[in-house]
Amino acid sequence: MKKCVILAGCALALFTASKPAPSTEQTSGIDRANMDMTANPANDFYRYACGGWMQKHPLTAEYARYGSFDQLNEENQTKLKNLITGVSKQQNAPGSIPDKIATLYQLGMDSVKLQQQGGAPIKPLLTAIAKLSTRKELQKELITLHKNGIFPFFDLTTEADYTNSKMTIAWLYQGGTGMGERSYYLDNDERTKEIRAKYQEMMTKLFNLSGYAKLVKMPASKLTAEVMGLETELAKASFDRVTLRDPHKNFNKMDLSKLVAITPDVDFATYFKSVGLPDLKSLNVAQPQFIKEVQNIFKTTKPEIVKAYFAWYVINTAAPYLSSDFVTANFAFYGKAMSGREVMRPRWKRVVTTINGTLGEAVGQMYVEKYFPPAAKKRMLELVHNLQDAFAQRIQASEWMAQETKNTAISKLKAIHIKIGYPDKWRDYSKLQIASDSYFANILRSNQFDVAYMLNKVDKPTDVNEWLMTPQTVNAYYQPTTNEICFPAAILQPPFFNQQADDAANYGAIGVVIGHEMTHGFDDEGRQYDLTGNLKDWWQPEDSKKFDERAKVLSDYFSNIEVVPGTKANGQLTLGENLADNGGLHISYIAMQNAMKKGDINSDKMDNFTPAQRFFIAYATVWASNIRDQEKVRLTKTDPHSLAQWRVNGTLPHIDMFLDAFNVKDGDKMYLPKEKQALIW
């Protein structure tokens, strides 16, 4: 599974090919207004570096968390809106890509039509479900729903074969729960119980609103109780998020005949034939114990309950695309109860997000033509190579690894496949039909189109040139099975890179992000894959042991952080990301020093800050944000990244150069003695 630098957007920057040499014209890249000079950097560096920004950007009702990367996201949304509305105003040939974008936008924005249609767009699906009676019919319906991109019980997806990463194979993956995270079903603290109550409240409301309760002549509350029971069984059989990070535990390739033998009542032979994989011989059953539970539920649960569960999946998938009563109920749970957001995003933003999902690369193509200068790609590539060199230098200088492990690590580092800006080949949307029937009908056709597209990859060579993010996404990723790093165009822009600024700040921001992605190839998960992307141990056993000991320092440290009173961070879940931040900082710092030796960086104080200070302030600024307590708790349960505050105040005490730069001493809150610091890459 690919790993992103941040949850929803991040820090990279626009470098142009004609980067000016250091001169008096350049700024430091540090905006003092974003800082809080009254805070002591040695005690609370986050407040010192970001306090001003946080005060200037209080949370609005629309947000559960708002950070400097959300700010970039906001600006990006406006750009996308302008592109989309621009297309909507012109005359488009029927069926052309611009016509598809324009039609979908109009349907999403047409609140009158959405209101008139109410729940009508899902009526045919619900009526079909209500009529089912036999187990065989239920099995058939499962296939129909999955082909429509609605996934009750489990997910069907495609990923590399971990034993032969050149090939893509079919994967069955745990899923089938509306709250997505098992602990929401199983934990019994007050907050979780309240979330559970709100989830059921939403379900009951929507069973009534959609007319399904009436259709099957059962009280909505009864349907809700049954569905909740079924989802809880699935949650119990699911891996927790820490176990999901273990590639060995989640790779269980088996012959289809074996799967069929252990799950006779689900009838996977027919399933694969009908979804469009008639020749499937083998696949990865990522969590076998979960699939066995699906078999168990299929065998023992009354058809009415499975039907209610199917209906719930349809309603819950469709709710954001129906009339306002559906949308509001959906938001009351997923927005308010779960994250603490107070108001919904405006309609246009939601529609832009939808179009990004359905016609992503078509919008992306327009986006890069308008906003991504080819020169930026060249400059970014230079920088990635500088980071690659610095990483190799650090591996060579490392004191804890045998030379043999070092050599293999460097070969893997050099083999990293680099993607910048946008794909060379764009996806073809000509077969996707967008019509004016209803907003949701288009979502459904788009789902069908995407499922077919995905399944077309099965048992074929992995397309290493495919992009797993659209160019207009404000984020970056590392994918272990292709050993690739990717930096979409949208993240390669200000405010995270300042073209007028000296590069010390840029190495602290964009440089650390690049180093972060590279380190993912060598974090606790990524290090288990070799340079071709196969899950294959290339470590000397002694070095492997030392790695685990060193990594444990970091996971133990983070597990001790209290994020809100009574809730601690999960050092195991966030280990890979914390390792990537730790490595990214070390590597980019070396790269900055290399650049300084070449005279590419102003070694004097600028705005009264040394280059090292500018580096660390810029790093922290990337994570400037405000966040609600509910969102802190939700992210701590689900997000493999540490909270922004701790990516600064938890990460930096482990970086010796930081302690030096700000003269942090024993007794200061940001201080950690050398023997307690985590030093891996």
Which is nearer to Zn ion, 108 or 521 (by Cβ)? 521
Q: How far is the CB of 6 from Zn ion (least distance, A)?
A: 7
Phi-psi region of 419 (alpha: psi -120 to 50; beta: other; left: phi over 0): beta
Instruction: Give DSSP secondary structure letters for 506-559.
Output: HIIIIIHHHHHHHHHTTSTTGGGB-TTS-B---S-HHHHHHHHHHHHHHHHHHH
Contact predicate 323/118, CB 8 Å = yes
Closest CB to Zn ion among 632 and 647?
Answer: 647
Nearer to Zn ion, 231 or 639 (CB): 639
The Cα 49–Cα 505 span in angstroms is 13
Element (H, E) at 174: strand 164-174
Q: How far is the CB of 7 from Zn ion (least distance, A)?
A: 10
Task: Give residue for tokens 């189109």.
Answer: 449
Residue 625 in tokens: 């944000």
Residue type (1 letter), 508: G
Contact 515, 391 (CB under 8 A): yes
Give 320 or 480: the residue with its C-beta nearer to Zn ion: 480
CA 402, 544, 578: angle at the middle one, nearest 5? Answer: 110
What is the smallest separation between the CB atom of 574 and Zn ion, expressed in angstroms? 10
**Residue 614 tokens, joined:** 């500018």
Minimum CB distance to Zn ion smaller for 103 or for 475: 475
Sites of contact with Zn ion (CB under 5 A): 3, 5, 577, 580
CB of 618 to Zn ion, least distance (A): 18
Of 196 and 641, which has the nearer Cβ to Zn ion?
641
Smallest separation, CB 516 to Zn ion (Å): 6
In this structure, the number of other CB atoms found within 10 A of the CB of residue 201 comes to: 16
Q: How far is the CB of 470 from Zn ion (least distance, A)?
A: 18
Residue in 582, 418, 613, 488 with CA at minimum distance from that of residue 11: 488
Nearer to Zn ion, 10 or 655 (CB): 10
Q: Can you tell me which residue has the tokens 């405010």?
A: 495
Query: What b/e string do you get for 49-72 counting C-beta neighbours within 10 Å, with b at 16 or more?
Result: bbbbbbeebebeeebbbbbbbbbb
87 vs 474 by CB, closer to Zn ion: 474
Q: Is the distance from CB of 670 to CB of 49 less than 8 angstroms?
A: no
Q: Which is nearer to Zn ion, 358 or 519 (CB)?
A: 519
Q: Is the link from the previous residue into 495 a cis peptide, with omega within 30 of 0?
A: yes
The residue among 520 and 634 lying less far from Zn ion, judged by its C-beta, is 520
CB 610 within 8 A of CB 536: no
Note whether 478 and 525 are within 8 A (CB). Answer: no
d(CA 52, CA 417): 39
Q: Measured from the CB of residue 591, what is the shortest distance to Zn ion in angstroms? A: 18
Q: Smallest distance, Å, CB 584 to Zn ion?
A: 9
Sign of CA dihedral 123, 128, 132, 138: negative
CB of 577 to Zn ion, least distance (A): 5
Other C-beta atoms closer than 10 Å to the C-beta of 95 total: 12
Q: Is 448 exposed, middle or buried (0-12, 13-18, 19+ CB in 10 A)?
A: middle
The smaller minimum CB distance to Zn ion, of residues 159 and 577, is found at 577
Could you tell me how far CA 176 lies from the centroid of its own chain?
Answer: 19
When the beta carbons of 655 and 659 are compared against Zn ion, the nearer one is: 655
Min dist CB 544 to Zn ion, Å, is 22
Which residue, 181 or 577, is less far from Zn ion as judged by CB?
577
What are the residues whose beta carbons fall under 8 Å from the beta carbon of 411, sequence distance 6 or more? Answer: 531
Residue closer to Zn ion by CB (options 530, 577) is 577
Indicate the residue among 3 and 377 with the shorter CB distance to Zn ion. Answer: 3
Q: How far is the CB of 640 from Zn ion (least distance, A)?
A: 8
What is the closest distance, in whole angstroms, from the C-beta atom of residue 283 to Zn ion in the complex?
A: 28
Provide, rounded to whole angstroms, the least separation between the CB of residue 150 and Zn ion.
Answer: 30
Residue 242 beta carbon to Zn ion: minimum distance, rounded to whole angstroms: 16
Contact in structure between 603 and 515 (CB atoms under 8 Å):
no
Contact indicator for 138, 160 with CB cutoff of 8 Å: no
**What length does the chain have?**
681
Q: How far apart are CA 252 and CA 209, in angstroms?
A: 42
Match 């919904």 to its residue by tokens. 344
- Minimum distance of Zn ion from residue 1's CB (angstroms): 12
Give the list of residues 6+ apart from residue 654 with CB closer than 8 angstroms, or none. Answer: 554, 557, 582, 672, 677, 678, 679
Tokens 């799950």 sit on residue: 263
Pairing of strands 282-285, 164-174: parallel
